[in-house]
Structure 1
């Protein structure tokens, strides 16, 4: 539980100036070097601008002018992407804290040119590499170029991201080189790879540095980062903060609630938790302190809300796009699975700061308003937006049915007319700026004042969501259209406002063009760290695929966790936190998901728990973002302390307490995948009703969890009351846990009935079966649980053979041969040695048993909750909502 014994207003740290805060953000996100030489500064800006233009170029082949411009494949676009990234890394990031920032030393120029040259070499000679190195025959010159490139890439990652990723990458290459030694467990040791093989795999081939992570950075991530940079430069960040304060500032503890909602909205713009903390925190933290939050608690609220911006759909962080490639599902499905955990996490954080305000009897800024009314208004707003969006979907669909040839042109014209109308409305009002948070008298804006001034900022977000969710386009194409809309807005909003206001249009046009250039430069500079991180993390991915660590790590983790899934999840979470203390979220996700996501699925299957791969990846992702909060490194906590003047370690500890809900959620959706809407069909009314029910129950349970961890519900909670609230929340989240103790979830049949059970099942039914066999390295027997789902087009008979299963019945036993190559079962059983003397065997067939509804356990849970409420209401001294 959170500690209540901190003095209000304690300030044990040093408060940073605005210039120092900006330097903190640039040092972390875009490079701290600001050359005094105008020529050098222009060169760096020009390279960044060229990078953004290059990314726009390669994103546009679907447009009419694509036929007049060359279209490159991934073996060409990725090296050019890295060329820009490493060139800017050496020019923008000093080698050490003591290195000059007002100039680029000669050695950095040399390193920048050589590093960029090694990446450009892969682009320029991609055709030759295809017939030499990528065919297993690298030349000596290619190996030299690759070796130099790897070293300089690791140095670039050290400069841009700190030493952690460079050290981890170096350790993985050392493991690939040595193969065995006193630090390497027997289970994952090997004979070692040659120097040429390592360099070839890491730099010259398409599976290492230039593999999937860098491909995602090239194709998806850059456009979304550019989209955010342009939105921010256009003024959307300030608009979102003002909307949050206008809607929530009047509540008890309102600045903290506004910080939560404002950070959730600015998460659309910034994938950086540090930038989010500084952007919103410079305004929210002083106001939180004004109503009674201590410096550390004010910073902790900002940290908890800013970090979670990376899990908020529809944009999320760069890691979300990597999930698309690693898990092999559409981006829309990633959004679907991430939506409920992200939203209930933010709702719970709003409730947490509300409880803090109640515990400390904090005043409101102005006349206090009701939290319940605020929630109802937000709910009504969501319903209205959903109805409007649904009407738009059906309207556009009807238009396309009536006039297919004119529909797209008419829709484009309607969007542009709507944009002009929105800017006209905004021009009729003054550009709003929030009062100085340190002023003696602070005036909160109203929603009526703020909302009309930035309606046009919602259009590019609508365009993004439309192409992602309705048109079902790729993330890259959807982001391109959203960026195209932003290019129109950022260049025309100022001159249009000037025209409507009767001001100087030419000057406004020049200012709009300057905003465009600065936004594109900022987008590219914000991508330096991500580009370098994804490239360097490719070293880990290649090592995992080239050495036994990728296939045998499950055995090592199983040994460390004594075969207990919960202990293994704890180990994975701790491992993610430790790695994340020095790695950005994207690199942390790549490393840990490459090593651990498959292990979670494998060990779960060994214990009869089918863990969806997306749940395992989200588990890793959630713990990765927590590293920005957790001391002793917690970069976001240090940034918040720099704004608040509080102690950074204490800020991180309190922030971790506020973020316990984010820590608990991954465990919950591993054991109850319905929380991430896994298996819920949103295309049907039944699925939608089920999703709404899951959301409502999960939200209620998360609020109870928040109340338990904060030690306050209707009044200050006694220890047993907090424990009871935790028990009720757990039951609401995972009611099947208790049902499994009462009734077995599956009926067990003899293994020889597997084929017959598969043939007898109806479409959509699931048959589970347990397979045991020897492992490759140690030869010990392992077992795993597999699932067969009857597809609609499944044959009437012979379904086992059609699925690739080679079953060999012998009396009462059912043996197996290796599944057909290329089938899902061949991959899932890749850890079993089918050619050993001990034969693989089906141990049992499991079919779902007829059981009581698991929701019956809600009844005792709600009765226990009623008892807690009844006892606390007797001690209640102020309204709970």
Structure 2
């Protein structure tokens, strides 16, 4: 543990999670029901470990059992009313009934699979009512465990499927009757039991389990201590600690809000103590924590969906490798801005007394071995499922090195239960996303909207990218990244692909903006959670976090215009040049946004810095040369023109 003791209590952290993260607002059950839920969560994890080790079941069986577990546990754990979350110690009678129906719905495919296969396309009355119950249960479970936005979107899409003949213009279609809709949604692998839930029931669950085991070793706290040991003494050290630790936290959490609460409860009080304004301190943590989902090797649950949605033989390692340089550029941008903001207002780093013992920190460096191992396993070409299983084994072995990190039998069981609990919201979100994908597939809406988006943009690339960005951000406000990615990759990404952009670039483009919605006002959940810790004004914190994350609004355009940043079809020589100019561009833009470099910048210097940065980012020789010249001229001006009221602190 570090010497700094300004962290929030576990109770306060839980309160913040329940307020800003729907997936955290569960009942606190005791007695028999508590043990029933505990056993259910444990069985949920054991089922996935068993199928991961001995082979997955057929798609319908694997996904329906996964869905049945998730729905039943959600109705037992998540109360119907938001105000009761985290408080109720009893389960309402109607929730017990809903949980029981969920078990029946989940067991229907395993029990009836032979008959269902024989009468494909011909539903009996029982089939119809079970399928309809499954749809309604998914919608209600999603509302409780994930939130209202994605639930409303799924309902609107079903409404579109049924009333398509009444739709205007190019989005009109013949319409589906309720029976055909139920058949598509529950009795094919194009609806609820489609690809999104399939990924949740295989890759995502096992990686969430891996993250849960990492937490049990204390690796989350170790990330904080390691970050302080690396960056704590530098100018504005606590802000850089937030950036560094949040990048690492992204390896064990797929939630921006969870990242904010876990690392922010430690870093935000440190930043405030050393003089950062409340809104800036919260913004640093929100921007950095949100970027955790962009940082390989895990990148949040949506990256696993990307493997299936892109197809064409692309592997998870291909996606993680492609995302590496953009992620480094993103965190570099935040790091640079926090550095110059600290210089601008004259902030110090941590004192020696406030620092952890570096030798003690380095003694626990072995805790990073599971993360290094999973990178190497993915690089070797091992399947994602096998890599996740081996990573869990390695985590348990590594934890045994020292007594204070050792996972005993109790810790092992708790990790299984916690992993299953963290998978509930993802299962609900991917099931609801399956409804959306099913409607898009059945009605041809995806191609229609892609063509409509292109027509609206006049067939030009940059306007199409801009409209796609707005779509992803709006859909991402209040929705989990998984659901947001499914929607945007189905509706918006095809428009970019139609313009000849590589599939990977297009999918990462919508992936980025779906994540950045967490810090984009007016619905900036990660920023609002950070403001609750810092005591700052929520909207202003959101604005500041968007400003600090300006790189995230630029980087997707960079890798669409210059796929070399994703290491697509490039040479190492050209890649080094592209990364160099991109980094210089991010540096220039960051100084322009903050308004400080060697000294405080005049307004026209800020304009020059931002324009030079944009020129460096755009992948053309003439713009690169223009940007570098402007960059050099600006640096010369900074050195030549001195303002007496500003301290000469150097670069």
Q: What interval of TM-score do these two structures reach, taking the shorter chain for normalisation?
A: over 0.9
| 1:59 is the counterpart of 2:42 | no
- Counterpart for residue 419 of structure 1: none
CA deviations on 1:197-245 (whole Å, 9 max, x unpaired) are 1111011111111111111111101111111111011101111110000
Distance in 2, matches of 1:122 and 1:594, equals 27
User: How far did residue 566 of structure 1 move?
Assistant: 2.0
State the secondary structure of the residue aligned to 1:180: helix
From 488, 510, 526, give the equivalent of 1:592.
488
Go from structure 1 to structure 2 and tell me whether the alpha carbon gap of 1:857 and 1:662 turns closer, same or farther (over 3 Å shift): closer
User: In the alignment, does 2:340 pair up with 1:334?
Assistant: no
**Counterpart-to-counterpart distance in 2, 1:155 and 1:36:** 21
- Identify, as 1 or 2, the structure richer in helix: 2
Moved more, 548-557 or 329-338: 548-557
> CA–CA distance in 1 between the matches of 2:26 and 2:617?
49
Partner SS state of residue 168, structure 1: helix
Task: Report how far residue 129 of structure 1 moved.
Answer: 1.7
Q: Which residue of 2 aligns with 1:443?
A: 354
1:124 maps to 111
* Aligned position for 1:164: 149
Aligned to 1:708: 592
1:446 is displaced (CA, Å) by 4.2
TM-score (norm 1): 0.70
Do structure 1's residue 112 and structure 2's residue 99 form an aligned pair?
yes
Equivalent pair of 2:224/2:241 in contact (CA under 8 Å): yes
Aligned partner of 2:554 in structure 1 is 664
Q: Distance in 1 between matches of 2:567 and 2:544?
A: 31
1:387 maps to which residue? none
- Please, which of 541, 544, 549 is the counterpart of residue 437 of structure 2? 541
SS where residue 208 of structure 1 aligns? coil
**1:878 and 2:648 correspond:** yes
- Structure (1 or 2) with the larger CA radius of gyration: 1
Counterpart position of 1:259? 242
- Structural mapping, 1:31-430, within 5 Å: 31-61=24-54, 72-99=57-84, 101-132=88-119, 135-181=120-166, 184-328=167-311, 329-366=314-351
What is the CA–CA distance in structure 1 between the aligned matches of 2:512 and 2:468, rounded to whole Å? 11
Separation (CA, whole Å) in 2 of partners of 1:717 and 1:123:
67
* Equivalent residue runs for 1:437-476 within 5 Å: 443-452=354-363, 454-470=364-380, 472-476=381-385
The size of the alignment, in residue pairs, is: 636
Structure 1 unaligned segments of length 5 or more: list them. 1-14, 63-70, 368-441, 499-507, 605-609, 681-686, 737-853
| 2:453 aligned residue | 557
Determine the C-alpha separation between the residues in 1 that align with 2:291 and 2:95: 36
1:784-836 deviations in whole A, cap 9, x for unaligned?
A: xxxxxxxxxxxxxxxxxxxxxxxxxxxxxxxxxxxxxxxxxxxxxxxxxxxxx
Change in CA separation of 1:632 and 1:129 when aligned onto 2, cut-off 3 Å = same
Q: Does 1:727 align with 2:606?
A: no
Give the direction of change, closer, same or farther, for the CA distance of 1:90–1:31 in structure 2 (3 Å limit): farther
Show structure 1 runs of 4+ deviating over 6 A: none
Q: Deviation per CA, 1:80-117, whole angstroms, max 9, x where unpaired?
A: 11111111111111111234621111111111111232
In the aligned structure 1, how far is the partner of 2:220 from the partner of 2:540? 28
Determine the C-alpha separation between the residues in 2 that align with 1:268 and 1:211: 26
Task: Give the distance between the partners of 2:612 and 2:435, measured in 1 at CA.
Answer: 45
Normalised by the length of structure 2, the TM-score is: 0.94
Give the Cα separation in 1 of the matches to 2:446 and 2:619.
35
Q: Which of 510, 514, 531 is the equivalent residue of 1:620? A: 510
Structure 1 residues 673 and 546, CA, compared in 2 at 3 Å: closer, same or farther?
same
In the TM superposition, residue 30 of structure 1 has moved relative to its aligned partner by 4.5
Distance in structure 2 (CA, Å) of the matches to 1:112 and 1:537:
21
Q: CA deviation at 1:287?
A: 0.7
Offset from partner CA, 1:421-446 (integer Å, 9 cap, x none): xxxxxxxxxxxxxxxxxxxxx52024
Q: Which string of whole-angstrom CA distances, capped at 9 and with x for unpartnered residues, describes residues 511-562 of structure 1?
A: 7222211111111111110011011100111111110312211232133334
- Contact 2:469/2:510, CA 8 A, preserved across alignment: yes
Partner Cα separation in structure 2 for residue 31 and residue 256 of structure 1: 26
* Contact 1:32/1:101 (<8 A) preserved: no
Q: Secondary structure at the match of 2:244?
A: helix
Query: Structure 1 residues 249 and 22 mapped into 2: Cα distance closer, same or farther (>3 Å)?
Result: same
Give the CA deviation at 1:334.
0.5
Partners of 2:447 and 2:494 within 8 A in 1: no
* Cα distance, 1:632 vs structure 2: 2.4
Correspondence 1:698 to 2:468 = no
Task: Note the alpha carbon deviations across 1:147-202, whole angstroms, 9 max, x for none.
Answer: 11101110000001111111101100110001133xx3310101111111111101
Q: Quote the Cα distance in structure 1 between the aligned partners of 2:636 and 2:629.
A: 11
Task: Give the Cα separation in 1 of the matches to 2:143 and 2:619.
Answer: 47
Q: Structure 1 or 2: larger strand share?
A: 1
Residue 122 of structure 1 and its aligned partner are, at CA, apart by: 2.1
- Give, in whole Å, the separation in 1 of the partners of 2:446 and 2:306: 18
* Residue of structure 1 aligned with 2:403, choices 497, 500, 515: 497
State the Cα distance separating 1:36 from its structure 2 match: 4.7
- For 2:196 and 2:513, how far apart are their aligned partners in 1? 19
Structure 2 counterpart SS, 1:550? helix
What's the CA shift for 1:16? 8.2
| Post-superposition offset of 1:17 | 6.2
